[in-house]
Chain A
């Protein structure tokens, strides 16, 4: 047989990496820029917005957007841009907690279900089916009502609501990988179940899960904001994106920038993260 088919040309890994960087589109660069901006807003919000997000100014109540106040001011005269930037940390940390819970628990459950099959798989898969049949946000609301209000519990609730998605994906990836010859080969070389799971099955199946993580992070931002919009999350006066929209809602007609400002932040962030998720998937495959 023409063996050329079986032997793909030797390609140096570094070269293909460079190739990928060059293949980055304008949108990818924009997405990375947005995420970089958000990271700065989390770590050092003072660099981006110099005014105090909590200091009211009675002379500037509900001021229109201007150079000194890019997103205007709210009903107490606080700088809206500064509040949005300072609120980033709550929203993003909340989303991060949610994703870590979903990713961690979901990955573990998926791994266990797929690897041990049989009864364990049946139980986990049915629970996942039940979780998937309930809309995520609704499930998160139920959980937050059970756990009590607060920024952390809202994040936890969103995390629990997203476990099922991760479990399902991880399970299907592991099912694919564990049938491959090199997994059997490692068993044959003397590897224990746990060793093979940890060293071969897991590293070769988490690529897809990682790209889902970026997508799910965007969704978590949306859900965490939605929960605090509804008043289940962080209490005022500390700023948080969903909460800011909720506060701005009362002045929607007279001062729409109080809704649009944080709204645009949420939209752009979610889109940026989903773009990165796409990029991660391309890179991993």
Chain B
């Protein structure tokens, strides 16, 4: 049925659409063509809504019920699969095409041991005789780099870390020995060092098994490191198509140029002309320790951490998940109890926070998820006005004027005032919570991953806004992020946390150029593209 000379994936002028309600299918992918050969990796790069996942789902036969291939063809080993029904896909899934999903935890059955879930994939496709299944599961786990496979195969998904779960999913995808692997943002939920190891693994396996890999990602730098060819998509249209080197060094399309300039890793010195921070200390933390729980199950989230944030500076707090950076931010914001000393603008914080925050005018926290941090029943006007009402500022007219003013500062149109947060775009929501945090004119802003859910272009706009506001109002930011290139781009000083310990701190550029601690070095090495950038600067 298949010929060896047919490429594993050949997509020709593919159009895909979704139907909403009873209308016709609205096209979201407009005529995309590409081929992937054995042992090669193609990266589909684009922001949300670019159609990259839709293409992957169409090729893998995973389109939802309201999605349909409208025109064109997608050939897997020479066979057009666009009109396949569910029954025919069943024979292809696993055996020809393996799929690695985005969110490892929600992609596994929480009530079944991971070994069993791998075994299912083997049994469904009769890969090995029944009595050899167990051995094969262990071999697969071993192959994807899970130490102590025998023990781990009996674990439930919640007992494994994100990286281990993603390895299990890769094992499931590869169990029935497919020739094609589709990886849909396989590392976006993982820490940067784990991301590196997973991508290394995918690359090795692809070479070894001669897989044709389709890698979906939003990260151009990552695609550059990990693929043989890159296709840049925007709104379902191919904007750029070529080798990774060409795309990054000689982009032909304006959209690609914009993506590159918006990604912090390609413009690390964009804000290098920021004013030097002043001497005055606005936040000082000394030997802050935080232990969650008591007795043998107690977890030390922060262990004797010091922190100094100066007026007019951007101080970054970095580390992997579980390093305690959010805990420290919450302590500084007066939301969590602690031991040690913390002072904001010279005044000490109580170790047990009261239920009313009396420091709202000094320091404000911007939450990670803007949608969750505003009342779903409130319209934007009420959301932004609330701090003023609480502080008893002025009458209605004064407050309205102040809201209009701050709206202007965060560059939001006044038409959003009557809408609720869920009716806004991600970037607009972030602007709303920044406006709410700034309306009382605090001196310090604690920003907890303020752009982690945003596309690079939107992120670049929000960062521009934050830098402008910081300049105008002489604010100090405590900026928490896992995105090291972003941290490098905007921050003056940096504190690196590992498992609740402060392992390194100093001037950002110095730390990036010559990290003193092995952990910092490991973090920096894992960031896609950052080596390239520093090499460029040296050249």
Q: Does A3 contact B (CB under 8 A)?
A: yes
Query: Chain A, 186-208, contact with B by CB distance < 8 Å: what is the 0/1 string?
Result: 11111111010001100110000
Q: Which of A5-13, A32-40, A82-90 contacts B (4 or more CB under 8 A)?
A: A5-13
Pick the contact of A10: B53, B333, B356, B424 (CB < 8 A).
Answer: B424
Chain A residues bordering chain B, tally (CB within 8 A): 29
Q: Does A76 contact B (CB under 8 A)?
A: no
Pick the contact of B355: A8, A11, A12, A187 (CB < 8 A).
Answer: A187
Pick the contact of A188: B188, B189, B216, B365 (CB < 8 A).
Answer: B365
Q: State the CA gap A11–B375 with chains docked (Å).
A: 18
Chain B residues bordering chain A, tally (CB within 8 A): 45
Contacts of B424 in A (CB 8 A): 10
Q: Assuming A11-B423, A187-B357, A191-B390, is B102 touching A1 (CB within 8 A)?
A: yes
Pick the contact of B373: A3, A181, A199 (CB < 8 A).
Answer: A181
Cross-chain contact A200 with B357 (CB below 8 angstroms): no
Q: State the CA gap A182–B420 with chains docked (Å).
A: 14
Q: Does A66 contact B (CB under 8 A)?
A: no
Cross-chain contact A189 with B357 (CB below 8 angstroms): yes
Query: Chain B, 370-395, contact with A by CB distance < 8 Å: what is the 0/1 string?
Result: 01111111000000001100110000
Q: Does B99 contact A (CB under 8 A)?
A: no
Cross-chain contact B369 with A181 (CB below 8 angstroms): yes
Contacts of A187 in B (CB 8 A): 355-357
Q: State the CA gap A13–B379 with chains docked (Å).
A: 12
Cross-chain contact A186 with B375 (CB below 8 angstroms): yes
Q: State the CA gap A182–B216 with chains docked (Å).
A: 33
Q: Assuming A182-B375, A185-B373, is B48 touching A2 (CB within 8 A)?
A: yes
- Interface SS of chain B: helix, strand, loop or mixed? loop
Cross-chain contact B387 with A182 (CB below 8 angstroms): no
Q: State the CA gap A182–B370 with chains docked (Å).
A: 9
Query: Chain A, 19-52, contact with B by CB distance < 8 Å: what is the 0/1 string?
Result: 0000000000000000000000000000000000
| Most chain B C-beta atoms within 10 Å of own C-beta, residue among A2, A12, A182, A193 | A2
Q: Does A4 contact B (CB under 8 A)?
A: yes
Chain B stretch 171-189: residues in CB contact (< 8 A) with chain A: 184-185, 188-189
Pick the contact of A182: B53, B357, B372 (CB < 8 A).
Answer: B372
Complex: chain B residue closest to A6, CB-CB: B453
Q: State the CA gap A2–B377 with chains docked (Å).
A: 27
Tally A-B pairs: CB < 8 A: 96
Q: Does B348 contact A (CB under 8 A)?
A: no
Pick the contact of B356: A3, A7, A191 (CB < 8 A).
Answer: A191
Query: Chain A, 217-233, contact with B by CB distance < 8 Å: what is the 0/1 string?
Result: 00000000000000000
Q: Does A184 contact B (CB under 8 A)?
A: yes
Pick the contact of A2: B184, B355, B372, B422 (CB < 8 A).
Answer: B184
Contacts of B391 in A (CB 8 A): 190
Q: State the CA gap A180–B358 with chains docked (Å).
A: 21
Query: Chain B, 332-369, contact with A by CB distance < 8 Å: what is the 0/1 string?
Result: 01110000000000000000000111101000110101
Complex: chain B residue closest to A7, CB-CB: B426
| Most chain B C-beta atoms within 10 Å of own C-beta, residue among A13, A182, A187 | A182
Contacts of A181 in B (CB 8 A): 367, 369, 372-373
Complex: chain A residue closest to B371, CB-CB: A6
Q: State the CA gap A187–B367 with chains docked (Å).
A: 13
Cross-chain contact B360 with A190 (CB below 8 angstroms): yes
Cross-chain contact A6 with B426 (CB below 8 angstroms): yes
Chain A stretch 245-269: residues in CB contact (< 8 A) with chain B: none
Query: Chain B, 426-439, contact with A by CB distance < 8 Å: what is the 0/1 string?
Result: 10000000001000
Tell me the A residues contacting B by CB distance below 8 Å: 1-4, 6-8, 10-13, 180-182, 184-193, 195, 199-200, 203-204
Give me 20 A-to-B residue pairs in the complex whose CB atoms sit less than 8 angstroms apart, sorted by A's number.
A1-B453, A2-B48, A3-B453, A3-B455, A4-B49, A8-B422, A11-B423, A182-B373, A182-B374, A185-B365, A187-B356, A189-B360, A190-B356, A190-B357, A190-B360, A190-B387, A190-B391, A191-B356, A199-B375, A203-B375
Known A8-B422, A10-B424, A190-B391; further 5 A-B contacts with Cβ < 8 A: A182-B374, A190-B356, A190-B360, A190-B390, A191-B357
Tell me the B residues contacting A by CB distance below 8 Å: 47-49, 52-53, 102, 184-185, 188-189, 216, 218, 333-335, 355-358, 360, 364-365, 367, 369, 371-377, 386-387, 390-391, 420, 422-426, 436, 453-455
Question: Closest 8 A-B residue pairs measured CB to CB?
Answer: A1-B188, A190-B360, A3-B48, A4-B48, A190-B390, A181-B372, A185-B373, A181-B373
